[in-house]
Amino acid sequence: MRTIRTALPLLLLLASAEASWAREETTAPAAAASIEGSTEEDLRFARNLSRAFRKVARGVKPSVVSIRTVEEPEAQASGMPALRFGPRGPELVRPGPVQQRQGLGTGFILSEDGAIVTNSHVVRGAERIMVRLSDDRELDATLVGVDPETDVAVLRVPANGLTPATLIDSSQVEVGDWVLALGSPFGLDQTVTAGIISAKGREGVGLAVFENYLQTDAAINPGNSGGPLVTLDGAVVGMNTAIGSRTGGNDGVGFAIPMEMVRRAADDLLQDGRVRYGYMGVLLQELPDGSGAMIGRVLPGGPADQAEVREGDRIVSVAGERVDSRASLMRAIGARKPGEAVQVEVERDGERRQLQVTLGTRPTAGVAVRDDRGQMLQPNR
């Protein structure tokens, strides 16, 4: 789980309520009378909520997997002796035993034939990836592909008849809706925590190129990365990916990638092994929130240059959808396929203009381009 230099109590509360209910539901009226300020109606509501949590956890459990990775440190992999200069002159130092680095994470099943989705940072640099299913089978997984732009990765395990998760878009939830986070925090498999959707559309977090996070106060900790954020209908609405914390633990601010972004990346990775995003060929300047996106540089020969987009233009909409920030423009362009022609509305010299841009293919992460002034630039959109 990524920590941004930022559940158990709720789980204990739910477990206590469940145990009380299981002991003898028929004693509820007497118990209610003995609790000051409580009524049977209050307790009935709490029990119904507890049963809803329980039903969701049981229903989603078969679709959730734990992920363990092993990475060989490059410096020790060769096993070659090293020459060290000490007080008595050169000394030949032989390496000690290779220390393997292990990582933990979570994922969830996409298809019956073994496709699994998780965060790319969970499996980055892994020499070996092991997946533990809900029935305790542990299988070696192969990496289908990663998309660092959204922090999504797809794995495949040699198994059939698995239980895929039910997926929905984030447009189907609202701030205040109850959600459950399932995963393996600190290596504790099949842990369930509860909370609400605290906010939608969080951007500028700095974890990925395309950001539009769901924020939740459901407890998310290291090891939850890649796990599902689930509604009370049992549908996965997001992938847990980061926490905002000052201590490295849960401070009640967690972030999940909306399922529509996860699904788009996963579908492309399964089909082509990579994700292709639309590309304008511009560098953007920051503007006050809600003011659109300012073009700071137009890369020569790129799609924007050919469409006569100019430095200083303020982009206010793409395909009729309002652009209110740099991040929203990046998402609007990235959501479209290369070769697609889109209508871009710009403001130039106080006038609105409609320009048609035929999108190119965004260069892969880490690929820079040279501008007309000879400078190497990492493109935005």
Full DSSP string of 311-360: TT-EEEEETTEE--SHHHHHHHHHTSPTT-EEEEEEEETTEEEEEEEE-E
324 included as an active-site residue:
no
Q: Please pick, among 63, 66, 170, 225, the residue that the annotation labels catalytic.
A: 225
Taking residues 160-171, report their average pLDDT: 97
Asked if 188 contacts 197 with a C-beta cutoff of 8 angstroms, the reply is no
- pLDDT band at residue 244, thresholds of 50, 70 and 90? confident
What pLDDT is stored for residue 217 in this prediction?
A: 95
Instruction: Name the residue among 10, 214, 180 with its Cα closest to residue 106.
Output: 180
The reply to whether 225 belongs to the active site is yes
The closest alpha carbon to 311, from 323, 324, 329, 293, belongs to 293
Selected from 3.30.1300.30, 2.30.30.360, 2.90.10.10, 2.40.10.120, the CATH number assigned to the domain covering 1-19+38-69+101-273 reads 2.40.10.120
Residue range 279-320, pLDDT digits in tens: 999 999 878 767 788 999 999 999 999 999 999 999 999 999
How does the average pLDDT of the chain come out, rounded? 83
Give the closest residue to 203 by CA, choosing from 112, 303, 334, 311.
334
Contact 67, 129 (CB under 8 A): yes
More confident residue, 222 or 215: 215
What's the average model confidence in pLDDT over 324-341? 91
Of 50, 63, 120, 121, the catalytic one is: 121
Indicate the pLDDT class of residue 33, thresholds 50, 70 and 90. Answer: very low
Query: How would residue 230 be classed by pLDDT, with cut points 50, 70 and 90?
Result: very high
pLDDT at residue 4 in the model: 61
Q: Where are the domains of the chain?
A: 1-19+38-69+101-273, 278-377
Choosing from 147, 151, 268, 313, the catalytic residue is 151
> Which pLDDT does position 325 carry in this prediction?
87
Kindly state the average pLDDT of the residues 238-251: 83
What's the whole-number mean pLDDT along residues 120-145?
95
Confidence of residue 41 (pLDDT cuts 50, 70, 90): confident
Q: Rounded to an integer, what distance in angstroms lies between the CA atom of residue 93 and that of residue 81?
A: 6
pTM here is: 0.77
> Sign of the C-alpha dihedral, residues 226, 227, 230, 235?
positive
Q: ∠197-241-138 over CA atoms, to 5°?
A: 120
267 is catalytic: no
The per-residue b/e assignment along 279-316, b for 16 or more CB within 10 angstroms, e otherwise, is bbbbbbeeeeeeebbbbebbbeebbbbebebeeebbbb
Q: What is the CATH number of domain 278-377?
A: 2.30.42.10
What is the pLDDT at residue 139?
97
pLDDT of residue 79: 52
